[in-house]
Amino acid sequence: MHVDGQATASGRRKLGRGGKIAILVAVLAILGIAGTFVAIGPLQAAPPISSEAASPLRSQPGTAFPVVKPATVTAVPAAGAKEVNPAAPVTLAVANGTIDNVSLRSASGQDIEGALGAGRSQWTSSGQLAFNTTYTFTYTTLDGAGRTSSATSTFTTVSTKNEADAAMYPLDGMSVGVAQPIQLTFSEPVTNKKAVEKAITVTSTSGQAGAFHWFSDTVVRYRPESFWAANSTITVKMDLFGVDLGKGQIGNFTKTNTVHIGDKRTAVADAKAHTFTAYINDKPVQTWPATLGDERFPSARGYLVLMEKQRRAHFVAASIGLKPGDPANYGELDVEYATRLTPSGEFIHQATDNALPYLGQVNLSHGCIGLGPDGAAWVFNNMTTGDVVQVINTDGDYANFDDGFGDWNIPWSQYANG
């Protein structure tokens, strides 16, 4: 073989550049390393090769793609949260990824339903949570490289000591008279009164609008400006579940009640004329002689709403502060056809035997309206809860706001702003 070259001082030829490359190729072939080499100018240092170990956030091992950001998750409520409002939705939001699966389960094993949002980046609970319950929130997410990440947290909803209830009167489905206000009595004091009013919707088939009036932090009533329309129906929707009543107290129910209004049954008791006149739908029915409260115990004035009826009632003088030796002390007695006007003890009832001769002539009761057997029986049999008696020409004051339903004695401008 003839190889071009120059002889060295030792008599050997010096390899040229081409010869060196040929030898290098031969050596690599012997070592089993195949490849194609192209010599372009002087040899230079090769650039560093991207390392998967140096950049662990690659989408595929050994490939120099851009780094994929990990998925980040925001869960509400936060892990370990306590006194969580059960009306507030549980949510999961994912950035740089999607939601693979979600589980929300109570300590008793009840699963809470939920829905994924568009793009599977959000999840929101749709089922209702319970009070005083611990929930476990478990979820798995996927990032853009397909890697999964799972987490589990727990939280506890509002405890029993912060759970507030309310009772409505009249009861659901009850039939009452035109003067019956709607009353809600709360188990806990209410300081966020406007929030509570906003959560209660009262409608009537008559189209009457009304207003709330707070008589205390636990009692609110609702009535229209004038009596309810006869034979109408009132619907009371109470969306109080989750409503913050104030000071950490949370409403615990949502329900709708209906109340039926009957004919308009009213009466006027005149302490000066000693009469009692009944009306049905504004038409007079009959007038009976009556006796009302005397000078020491004058009957309450204004509108008094009928509350309940007792065919026979037992009266005890001591219950109104009368003691033995007092000329007004009547001890104990039973009366017929008693219809209550106030919790403090004013009734319409059949006058006692010793009062019957004075009906229509003089006032001698302890505040009650006494009628003869016919008049007392008519009221008992024909008037009902929510009907109203207006007492006029009496020296008595209006009944206290908590002594029955004296709502109609409050001017509308004052009532509607209370």
Q: How many C-beta neighbours within 10 Å does residue 94 have?
A: 23
More confident residue, 119 or 11: 119
Note the residue count of the chain: 418
pLDDT over 90, % of the chain:
77
**pLDDT for the residue numbered 65:** 59
More confident residue, 323 or 117: 117
- Contacts of residues 189-193 at CB distance under 8 Å and 24 or more positions apart, as own/partner, are 189/217, 189/218, 189/245, 189/246, 189/247, 189/249, 190/214, 190/217, 190/218, 190/220, 190/245, 190/246, 190/249, 191/217, 191/245, 191/246, 191/247, 192/243, 192/244, 192/245, 192/246, 193/220
**In which band, very low, low, confident or very high, does the pLDDT at 327 lie, cut at 50, 70 and 90?**
confident
Active site residue 349: yes
pLDDT at 379 over 90: yes
| 213, 274, 349, 366: the active-site residue | 349
**pLDDT for the residue numbered 23:** 43
Looking at the chain, the domain(s) classified CATH 2.60.40.3780 span: 72-158
Distance (Å, whole) CA 167 – CA 154:
33
**pLDDT for the residue numbered 63:** 53
**pLDDT for the residue numbered 35:** 39
- In which residue are the tokens 């302890």 written? 366
Of residues 276, 350, 277, the one with CA closest to residue 310: 350
Distance (Å, whole) CA 160 – CA 310:
38
**pLDDT for the residue numbered 401:** 83
Q: Give 300's strand partners.
A: none
Distance (Å, whole) CA 290 – CA 358:
8
**In which band, very low, low, confident or very high, does the pLDDT at 22 lie, cut at 50, 70 and 90?**
very low
What average pLDDT does range 354-358 have in this prediction?
A: 94
| CATH classification number, 265-409, choose in 2.60.40.1080, 3.40.50.10210, 3.40.50.1110, 2.40.440.10 | 2.40.440.10
Q: For residues 417 and 410, is the Cβ–Cβ distance under 8 A?
A: no
242-275 pLDDT, tens digit each: 999 999 999 999 999 999 999 999 999 999 999 9
Q: Are strands 369-371 and 347-350 parallel, antiparallel or unpaired?
A: parallel
Q: How many C-beta neighbours within 10 Å does residue 135 have?
A: 23
Looking at the chain, the domain(s) classified CATH 2.60.40.3710 span: 162-261
Distances (CA, A) of 409 to 92, 306, 342, 391: 54, 14, 14, 11
Looking at the chain, the domain(s) classified CATH 2.40.440.10 span: 265-409
More confident residue, 153 or 39: 153
The CATH class for the domain spanning 72-158 reads: mainly beta
28-65 pLDDT, tens digit each: 344 444 433 333 334 344 444 444 444 444 445 555 55
Of residues 207, 213, 197, 258, the one with CA closest to residue 228: 207
* Residue 415, helix vs strand vs coil: helix
Does the model's pTM come out above 0.95? no
Q: How many C-beta neighbours within 10 Å does residue 16 have?
A: 13
* Residue 340, helix vs strand vs coil: strand
Which phi and psi angles does 407 have, rounded to 5°?
A: -55, -35
**pLDDT for the residue numbered 61:** 53
**pLDDT for the residue numbered 142:** 96
What average pLDDT does range 288-304 have in this prediction?
A: 97
Radius of gyration of the chain (CA): 44
Active site residue 366: no
Would you say domain 162-261 falls under CATH 2.60.40.3710? yes
Of residues 215, 259, 270, the one with CA closest to residue 410: 215
Distance (Å, whole) CA 313 – CA 352:
12
| 213, 274, 366, 368: the active-site residue | 368
**pLDDT for the residue numbered 323:** 86
Distance (Å, whole) CA 126 – CA 91:
10
CA dihedral 203, 206, 211, 214 (to 10 degrees): -70
**pLDDT for the residue numbered 264:** 98
**pLDDT for the residue numbered 5:** 39
What average pLDDT does range 298-309 have in this prediction?
A: 97
**pLDDT for the residue numbered 60:** 52
Rounded to the nearest integer, the mean pLDDT of the chain is 87
- Rounded to the nearest angstrom, the gap between the alpha carbon of residue 385 and the centroid of all alpha carbons in its chain is 29
